[in-house]
Amino acid sequence: MRKTPARLADGREIIYFDESDDARRELFDPRELAPLSTVSEARFDPLLREWVVMASHRQERTHLPPSDDCPLCPSAPGRPTEIPSSSYDVVAFENRFPSLASEGDRPDDRTGEPLASRRPTEGRCEVLCFAPDHNASFADLSPRRVRTIVDAWSDRTLALSELPHVEQVFCFENRGSEIGVTLHHPHGQIYAYPFLTPRTQRTLDSAHRYRERTWRNLFADNLRAEQSARTRVVSRTEHWTAFVPAAARWPVELHVYPNRQVLDLPALTEAERDDFSHLYLDILARLDGLFDGPLPYVAAWHQAPVRFQRDLAYLHLELFSIRRAPGKLKHLAGSESAMGVFVNDVPPETTAQRLREAAS
């Protein structure tokens, strides 16, 4: 894989990941862009003990542009985009409308409130484009391209983990307008948070209490239990297991674990990366076969924190959809939104059976 870094017209970093070592990309960005300016801060909710990010500049971000004006397509004569090159394999660049501010940005502290309730969001948000074809999706990619994406995720995880204020790196993909996607070009995002996310902190707290009782890893034991039960396992290969969790919150929900404890994406072996590339495409094909059409989904990698409680973690991918039947969506109503208690209309065992039977 050839890695080529450059800078966009406003100073943002862009990195090309090419499958051919002799690939050459156009690096000059001819656009006239003002320097990136963000207004972002994190406010602490003392009731839930969670950080909430305020990012008012994102109101102006690009929203569902026509396909001939997509900012993630390669540049063409007379139509420069976020990607200066006329072609690419996989490319990562800093988001022009980041949820997290660049290092050095500071919120206005002149509020009269305790400063401890606010903090700068000294993190980073990147976009990762999976392919130059605007009409493709992740499920259409080749195993080789998926492998390149895994390597890019790993590369960015390592690089972002070295930033001084970053505590957690989160790689994810949203697909489908039902999920809230505002750009239909096949892409994902990478967030480098300056704090541990509530979900991660809660699961690590559970893992810590479990280890104190049993001296074992909670995630590993949960995986072994699912492998032993087999009723919710959708697919198992030499290196990975995909299963519907027993307490699935979503009508379609899959967790994909490496069969050995791995802390983060950079720790995956060559064989594990290759195996995942084939397994994941099979899973996506099964998901699209559930309701005879592209399934809207969120695919989220859970990795170990950068500095703390790393030994408690276990890398895994969580993939879920809000679609519960053809033409029907699972909406977060009162119980889910106000109380945090999910009500799932579809038993996990039923979802697992449907996925096992779905054409791949």
d(CA 247, CA 172): 22
- Dump pLDDT digits (tens) for 316-344: 999 999 999 998 889 888 999 899 999 99
The active-site residue out of 187, 255, 302, 316 is: 187
Of the candidates 36, 86, 79, the one whose C-alpha atom is nearest the C-alpha of residue 61 is 36
Q: Tell whether the torsion through CA atoms of 167, 168, 169 and 172 is positive or negative.
A: negative
Task: Summarize pLDDT for 78-89 with one digit per residue, the tens.
Answer: 999 999 999 999
Cβ proximity of 314 and 291 under 8 Å: no
Give residue 177's Cα distance to chain centre: 16
Report which residue type is found at 300.
A
Opening angle at CA 146, ends 306 and 150, nearest 5? 15
Going along the chain from its start, the domains and CATH numbers come out as 2-195 (3.30.428.10), 199-357 (3.30.428.10)
Question: In the chain, which residues have pLDDT < 50?
Answer: 103-105, 109-110
Q: What is the pLDDT of residue 191?
A: 96
At a CB cut-off of 8 Å and minimum separation 6, what does 81 contact? 70, 71, 72, 73, 74, 75
For the chain, the straight-line distance linking the first and the last C-alpha, in angstroms and rounded, comes to: 29
Within 8 A by CB and 6+ apart from 85, the residues are 16, 25, 26, 27, 74, 75, 91
**b or e along 161-189 (b: 16 or more beta carbons within 10 Å of the residue's beta carbon)?**
bebebbbbbbbbbbbbeebebebbbbbbb
Whole-number pLDDT of residue 258: 98
Catalytic residue status for 302: no
What does the pLDDT read at residue 58?
67
Residue 97: the pLDDT is: 85
| Polymer length of the chain | 360
Q: What are φ and ψ of residue 306, in 5° steps?
A: -70, -40
- The first and second tokens of residue 13, run together, are 């970093």
Give Cα separations from 229 to 207, 232, 234, 248, 280 (angstroms). 21, 7, 12, 15, 22
Which pLDDT score is estimated for 110? 46
Q: What is the pLDDT of residue 105?
A: 46
